[in-house]
Amino acid sequence: MKRSSPRTWGRAHVLAVENLVTHYGPVEALKGITLHVNKGEIVTLIGANGAGKSTTLRTISGLVRPTRGTITYEGHDLTALPPDRIVALGIAHVPEGRRVFPHMSVMENLELGAYTRTDKRAIQEDLDRVFTLFPRLAERRWQLAGTMSGGEQQMLAIGRALMARPRLLLLDEPSMGLAPIIVESIFSVIQDINRQGTTILLVEQNANLALSVAHKGYVLETGRVVLSDTAERLRENEAVRRAYLGA
């Protein structure tokens, strides 16, 4: 899969996570994470299960409250904001496992994605955009989400997030449990979304796939960033190749 053109490192940060510490009860899941995302980038977090990748996204989106550290997005301090305020500022989160509403239709799921908005004309524009990106959702707009395939539910989860018109999209394991041909389609759309102007922070267990579409990446181990670089350099790094790329 062809990667988009690389961005420079010197831009102002859209998202700045500084020394982030997060606990689940007594367990310290994040141990001082620092990462930066620039406008227009796809940035990926890679690492083994339990490294803290999903916790990082959950903390950014307000689903988990950090113990210490700061999260700044477009000049706004997100550290103590509730999730709905964070969505209203322009961040949408597609969680691991898709989490669509199974007893609601595709249309109802998509409409819920725009729950913070009142601009009806723009909402219709975004609905048209989602149906252009994912024609299968248009075909199944009145189907119950729970009766759809895993790939279709992943499309719906991404589409629902896009209905919030985010400037920053958090994607957690979009390839999980999907057939290779569906994964290729999903990641092609992710690149289209990025080219249309949405910045993306991507968590993906398939490190080779993630680095093939990202501009830069961070390697996490047990709640810490141990390496960061351009995606191209990470793919060439011998330690990364041995640990995550099957080399």
Domain map of the chain by residue range?
A: 1-90+166-247, 95-164
pTM of the model: 0.90
Q: Is the pLDDT of residue 1 over 70?
A: no
Q: Express each pLDDT in 26-58 by its tens digit.
A: 999 999 999 999 999 999 999 998 899 999 999
Q: Which CATH number fits domain 1-90+166-247: 3.20.20.140, 3.40.50.720, 3.40.50.300, 3.40.50.1400?
A: 3.40.50.300
Alpha carbons 91 and 162: distance in angstroms, whole number: 10
- pLDDT per residue over 58-116, tens digit each? 999 999 999 999 999 999 999 989 999 999 999 999 988 778 889 999 999 999 898 87
